[in-house]
Structures are given as structure tokens and as C-alpha cells.
A = this chain, B = another copy of it.
């Protein structure tokens, strides 16, 4: 029989999982008392001596409550479901998910990450299985899903304001791009969007940010084109921009920016002299581009911490409003040659 020393140096059987009854026996109290102590029920008075004894017994046995039994008895689970779209968002998804899982666990909430997308399972079905107390949409949930979940008494939450905007920095990222370009003398800008459908919600936010920032500075509305990453039609779009007097491009992300860079080279134009380019994400290989690509770095770690806090507040308070998140605190421009110099 396998045994191990617990934190209190007592040998304990690990082969069978201890229940609250085991804890009760060891502490010489009833099972009810154990439950009251471990859940910190304030309506029930417990003497200090008993409390200590219970906590100690639980520790010695390495007791962990059975989640299934808890859910069943309490009539509600301690599970929260985090719904993430199956689109490619770099390490962001994983960074947030893993932290969120860990920190939710500290508060007794088991967080389950659910990937929503083609080939995946419907959120509603998954929710019917797991019966989470709350479902959190990383970018909001569509109307139908929302209705179905609400009918089944499941709380819904998403990050404010408007759900979709915030998770990736929202339109603020677009503002920062414009700030950087304007500081280098550019006045006629363009926004290079992605063609990827799954990223629409993010892309729209960034585009809005660029447009708003231009308007706020009295600049002309930025030109707009979508770029497929294979570079198809990219050359002609870039040439058209240059001829129309555009001098700088804010790209949806670094991949799009790199596509634009290649189109500029192929068109015989020069970057940054004819057309400056700034991306978002600060991919590790940006320094290897021709020319090296200016970008906006997002400190994923710090970002994950902030969003995790916000989401935990939602879980704790059953969907209380969450304050604004300071995007600038984890976002910074990484200047390289693709936007170098003051040209205009």
C-alpha cells in the first residue's frame, strides 16, 4: 500500500481517495462539522479547537472535496466555462487560459476552457454537460447561444465594454499606431486589414481605433484595403496608396505588415522613405524583415494578469460590472527601421 508523509509528517494512505467522512473520523467530529469548517459557513458557530482539529485532519489526509458530489449536493457547480474562439491569436489564448485556470482554482472555481469554432462542439451542448455556474465569452457570445444558455439558467458574462473590443487591447492599439506615425510627421495614413474572417471582431476594433485617432487629429480618413497573406493583389493596392499620397500604413498585425513590406519591395518602392509600415504583435522575427519592422508589443504576461483579475471578479460576483482595463500598461511601441526618421 503506497504511503507518503504529509506536510505534518504523518503517514497517510494514498491508494484510496479520502472523503470528508475520513476527515471527520480523524478529527473526532461529525461529517457536518467538517463541511461547515471547510466551507467557512458563518451561520454555524465552531469552537477554535474543533476548527483547528478539522483543518489539521484534512491537511494530513490531503483531503480534496469531490467536485461532482459538491455540485450535486449544492445544486450548482463550481465550474466556470471560458469560451475562446478557435482562431489563431498567438500565445495570447494560452497565456490567459492557463493563468485563469490556476487563479480560479485558488478561489475554489474550476475553470474549463472551451474552444468555439468550426469542427468544435457547440457551447450550449458543452454547457449542458458541465452545468457551469457561469459562461464567459472572450469575445462575447452570439445571440442564439446567449438565449439558449439563459433559458437553462446559466449566467453569462463577457468583458466590457461591448465584449469584443477589449480582450486584445481594443481600438487603443490603433490609436497607438497612429500616434507613432504622426509623431514621425505622417499625415496621410492607410489601414491594412486582414482577410481572415475569424479575426473580424478584433480587426474591426483596430480599424475603428485608427479611424478615430485620425479624426481626433484632424487628419483625413485613412485609406483601407484588405490583404491576403499570400500577397495576391497586394502590389497594386500598395502602389495605389503611394500614388494617392499615402505615406504610412498601420497594419492589423505583423503578418499583414510583412505582406505589405513585400509588396512595397516588389513594387520598386522603398520603406520607410516612400511608405512606412507599423504592425502589431512584435513577432520575434520582426527584426529579420527587410527592413526591420516597427510594431506594437503586447506584454502577454501582464495582460493575462489584468484580464484574469477582471474575469475572476465576474466569477466571484456573478457578473458584476468590471472597470476599465489599462491597456497602455502592457502595450508599447517597438520602433525599427520600417518607420524610421522624420520624413515629412
A1-53 contacts to B, CB under 8 A, are 2, 4, 14-17
Q: Using known A-B contacts A68-B77, A94-B115, A95-B86, determine if residue A151 contacts B285 with beta carbons closer than 8 Å.
A: no
Q: Using known A-B contacts A15-B153, A151-B14, determine if residue A105 contacts B126 with beta carbons closer than 8 Å.
A: yes
A117 to B66, CA, bound (A): 25
Chain A 258-290: CB-based contact to B (< 8 A → 1; otherwise 0): 110110010000000000000000001101111
Which of the segments A128-136, A157-165, A208-216 contacts the partner chain? A128-136
Cβ of A64 under 8 Å from chain B: yes
Copies of the chain in the assembly: 2
Instruction: Report A121 CB to chain B, min CB distance, Å.
Output: 4
Instruction: Report A235 CB to chain B, min CB distance, Å.
Output: 11
Which one, B17, B93, B131, B151, contacts A66 given CB within 8 A? Answer: B131
Cβ of A112 under 8 Å from chain B: yes
Residues of B within 8 A of A152 (CB): 14, 17
Find out whether the CB atom of B90 lies under 8 angstroms from the CB atom of A102: no
Find out whether the CB atom of A67 lies under 8 angstroms from the CB atom of B129: yes
Residues of B within 8 A of A151 (CB): 2, 4, 14-15
Find out whether the CB atom of A102 lies under 8 angstroms from the CB atom of B120: yes
Residues of B within 8 A of A221 (CB): none
Cβ of A97 under 8 Å from chain B: yes
User: Which residue in chain B gives the minimum CB-CB distance to A283?
Assistant: B255
Find out whether the CB atom of B290 lies under 8 angstroms from the CB atom of A265: yes
Cβ of A69 under 8 Å from chain B: yes
Find out whether the CB atom of A105 lies under 8 angstroms from the CB atom of B129: yes
A222-238 contacts to B, CB under 8 A, are 229-231
Cβ of A99 under 8 Å from chain B: yes
Which one, B2, B113, B153, B262, contacts A288 given CB within 8 A? Answer: B262
A80-104 contacts to B, CB under 8 A, are 84, 86, 88, 90-91, 93-95, 97-99, 101-102
Q: Known pairs A99-B120, A259-B288. 14 more at Cβ < 8 A?
A: A67-B129, A68-B72, A68-B131, A72-B72, A86-B91, A98-B116, A101-B114, A102-B119, A102-B121, A105-B121, A105-B125, A112-B112, A113-B115, A119-B304
**Chain A to chain B contacts (Cβ below 8 Å), 13 pairs:** A17-B152, A64-B129, A66-B72, A68-B77, A88-B94, A99-B119, A102-B121, A105-B121, A113-B115, A258-B288, A259-B285, A262-B287, A262-B288
Residues of A that sit less than 8 Å from B by CB: 2, 4, 14-17, 64, 66-69, 71-72, 77, 84, 86, 88, 90-91, 93-95, 97-99, 101-102, 105, 110, 112-117, 119-121, 125-126, 128-131, 151-153, 229-231, 255, 258-259, 261-262, 265, 284-285, 287-290, 301, 304
